[in-house]
């Protein structure tokens, strides 16, 4: 199936599995990945997940940052 483009990835326990499995949704250039947080707030391991995304070769971009202010 491969990576999808143009939609954000919810940062949860599965996001790293999806990225490693090629299921992550990438920005149009393929180097950036859009990530969003659930309305209930950031997951406990957000920093670890963020670093894991970077270690996988992608630059994470927080989608809709005004929602989390």
Q: How far apart are CA 4 and CA 65, in angstroms?
A: 21
Strand partners, 39: none
Residue range 4-56, pLDDT digits in tens: 556 677 787 777 787 777 776 676 667 888 888 877 777 788 898 889 889 98
This model's pTM is above 0.75: no
- Cβ-count burial 35-60 (b if 16+ within 10 Å, e if not): bbbeeeeebeeeeebeebbeeeebeb
């Amino acid at each position: 199936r491969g990576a999808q483009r143009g939609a954000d990835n919810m940062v949860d326990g599965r996001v790293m599995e999806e990225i490693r499995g090629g299921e992550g949704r990438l920005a149009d250039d393929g180097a950036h990945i859009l990530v969003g947080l659930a309305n209930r707030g950031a997951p406990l391991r957000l920093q670890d997940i963020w670093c894991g995304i970077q270690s996988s070769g992608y630059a994470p971009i927080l989608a809709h940052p005004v929602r989390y202010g």
